[in-house]
Each structure stands twice: as C-alpha cells, then as structure tokens.
Amino acid sequence: MDEFMEAAIQEAKQGRQEGGIPIGSVLVKDGKILGRGHNKRVQDADPVTHAEIDCLRNAGRVGSYRGTTLYSTLMPCYLCAGAVVQFGIKKVIVGESRTFPGAKEFMVSHGVEVIDLNLDDCEQMMSEFIETNPELWNEDIGN
C-alpha cells in the first residue's frame, strides 16, 4: 500500500479515536502531502465536515489544484465529489466502495479519474463502524 493511502487510513483511525466516523483523506501534489483530514461531523457538530472537506480546508489555498490527487479511505459522497469537481481535482484514489458506493459516476462524468483500490483494511474499518454505530452512520449519509 502506498504511503498516501496509509496516511489517509491513519487520519481515519484518528477520527475514530476522537469518537467520530473513520474516514480519512489526504491531498497530494508532486509526492508531497498538502493537506490531511478526517471526518469531524461528530466532533465539530458540523454536518459538512467530511474527511475530504476537512482535508481541503487544512490544505488551505493552494492556488491551482492541477496535478493534485485526492486520497480517501471511502468513495466520496456527492458533497465531497462536488468539491473535487469544483476545484478541478482530476484524480481520486479510494480505499474502498463496498460499504458505500458514493458518487463515482458523477466524478467520472466530469473527467475525474477514480481508482478504487478495494482494500480489505478500509472495508473492515467501515463495516465494523457501521455495524456498531448504524444510527450514526445513517445520519451521516442522510438516511
């Protein structure tokens, strides 16, 4: 597994340790992490602080997103996929989409290359969370 997905997984684990939802993300350009984040919806009582949004906020103003890659442990939802498209991020690498299919088709239809690594570690982390926290998970995804 590459170092950037490992960093996203560490963010997810940190979010879970904080009592939140275990989803992590990093933004990379030229082999360097520009920003990292994790889902803080629970911690911040903010429904839009998803991992990818937290990551982009932490990256700050980067000027152009040309040449960046966004890593996420889970397939981005429509909120986060919208940010990807809005900022012109052309590559997203995902840990898994078995527990949540997200908005892959939306991103692809807007010219984003989406690579799903289908990692067992990411799937297990989310499956365990969903099983033990179904109400919290369903709240987060709008069910």
Q: Is the dihedral of CA 46, 52, 58, 60 positive or negative?
A: negative
Active site residues: 52
Of residues 47, 44, 58, 56, the one with CA closest to residue 15: 44
Tokens at residue 106, please? 């939306």
**Contacts of residue 97, Cβ cutoff 8 Å, sequence gap at least 6:** 74, 75, 104, 116, 118
